[in-house]
Amino acid sequence: MLAALSVRDIVLIEAASLEFAPGLNVLTGETGAGKSILLDALGMATGGRGRAAVRPGAAQGSATALFDPPAKHSARMLLAEQSIPAEGEIVLRRTLSSEGRTRGFVNDEPVGVGLLKDLGSALLEVHGQSDDRGLFDSATHRALLDAFGGHEALVAEVAKQFAAYDTARIAAEELKRLQATAMADAEYVKQAVDELSALDAEEGEEEALAAERALLMNAARIAEDVSAASDLLSGERGAEAGLAGALKKLSRMGEEARKAAAAAEAALEQAYAMAEEGRRELDALLSRLEVDSSALERKEERLFALRAAARKYSVKCDGLPGVLDAFRKKLDALDLGGGKLKQLEAEAAAALVAFNTAAKKLSAARKTAAADLEKAVAAELTPLKLGHARFRVSFVASEPSAQGLERVAFEVATVEGAAYGSLAKIASGGELARFSLAIKVVLAQAAPPAALVFDEVDRGVGGAVADAVGLRLQKLSQSTQVLLVTHSPQVAARADRHFRIKRKGDKTVVEQLEDDERLEEVARMLSGAAVTEEARAAAKRLISEAQAVPKKPRKRA
């Protein structure tokens, strides 16, 4: 549930803190007092775009929503996937700078707004005058119907069987594709495998051959230069002889003189060792250059063969091993013949039968649940002044998928004889909220949703209809927490917790009302600015009647 909301420096709110009750929470106040600011702030904290803005004169605003969902709630799973501690309360916070930049936090850890939005969607469901998410998104209807019907096991079985069928189908199609490609030019494939296998190209071979070829092509000139360099090191007057002579002279000096020349002697010894090493490397290079003339010819032939094959198969030389591997797979597909393909196709066919059996069972269960849902929603529409409206669950056949064999859509017809259409397109603003309430009351009986927020669900109704709206909100709040903005005293009288929003100068303030204050606020809503004793008496009666409604014990997962 939504445990608390804290708002600081947002629009007209300098600072406000609200602690919510588990049941029905109402926000009341005069038009323009700032009730929508609180909902915008709540939307901002839970990843929505909203219309929140920083209070004039402040550098930064913030909204913090504290949730206390059940232990196995999906929001905790989302946090675990992000390696964020998921035990205890979940705190969503978002800051907004005066320049419009925002930052998101979960349990004081910085996160992207996308994660805030995902968590907000899991923890909170908002229904307003122009809301088209949640219940009004047909993409959610199949899952809502399955939750209502308790189809979790059937849905899991269908997904399992579809995955098995899809795996077998893909394997058969891949083998069939390979066979078809190979059969189209079987002889070419075999020749290519033979040719490339005989060539046995290696990655990096072309570069190495090209370097060796360049060296051998200039062997005579290079050998002459290398030999001359070696002579300068090892000849009678070469560097090695000179260094050796210098070391010999130093070794014959007296003890005191040798100590003074120790550093020079060490340097000369190092120079002698390096000169000796350089001469050995030059001699080794000379040995490599003194090869028979056929070596150059062999390397050129190998290099030309690699490059010719690369041109033939339209790849670089380093790509030849990969080409050979691809041709070998095609050849393997040919060698397997039809036996393996028939086996895979049989497995796919058997998996499809198993999937269809499970999917048809789920489809039948969905149709039964749909009839029950239609009947239950119809019973809720009449007292909500929607008795002329009709509600149905529509099924449209779809391609087999992990979700079954059909798409599901909730549709309504608000005028007698009119065609059915989607909730968001057919119903008016006021009707949308009441349709949402009717459906949510029914769905909550089978699968309590996340905390629900309604923005003026009672707009445009009064009297007995408003009282019916209040009763159904109270009924809904016994299964899931409800937060709503209302102008209806019949609805406000049923609150488990009542907040009054009002203006003080240029600021919006929030007050949590105690019993006497609640009575006065409901009386104000009944009579207007001047609260009369008759209004107080009527308010007292409304509150007493609301308190007399039996309450079911709330369950917590």
Query: pLDDT digit string (tens) for 197-211?
Result: 999 989 898 888 888
| pLDDT averaged over every residue in the chain | 85
**Per residue, what are the HEC states of 295-312?**
HHHHHHHHHHHHHHHHHH
Q: Does pLDDT of 557 surpass 50?
A: no
209-216 own/partner pairs: CB under 8 Å, 24+ apart: 209/299, 209/302, 209/303, 209/306, 210/303, 212/299, 213/296, 213/299, 213/300, 213/303, 215/288, 215/289, 216/289, 216/291, 216/295, 216/296, 216/299
CA 259 centroid distance within chain: 75
Closest CA to 194 of 336, 329, 327, 317: 327
Q: What's the pLDDT tens digit per position in 374-416?
A: 999 998 888 887 878 889 999 999 999 999 999 999 998 887 7
**Given CA atoms 204, 210, 213, 214 in this order, what sign does their dihedral have?**
negative
Q: Which residue has the higher pLDDT, 493 or 126?
A: 493
Query: Which of 30-44, 162-176, 211-225, 380-394 is predicted with the least confidence, judged by mean pLDDT?
Result: 211-225
User: Within a 13 Å sphere around the CA of 390, how many CA atoms are in the beta-carbon half?
Assistant: 12
Highest-scoring range by mean pLDDT, 185-199, 323-337, 346-360, 382-396? 346-360
Highest-scoring range by mean pLDDT, 137-141, 254-258, 541-545? 541-545
Tell me if 65 sits within 8 A of 38, measured CB to CB: no
Query: Which of 187-201, 253-267, 331-345, 432-446 is predicted with the least confidence, judged by mean pLDDT?
Result: 331-345
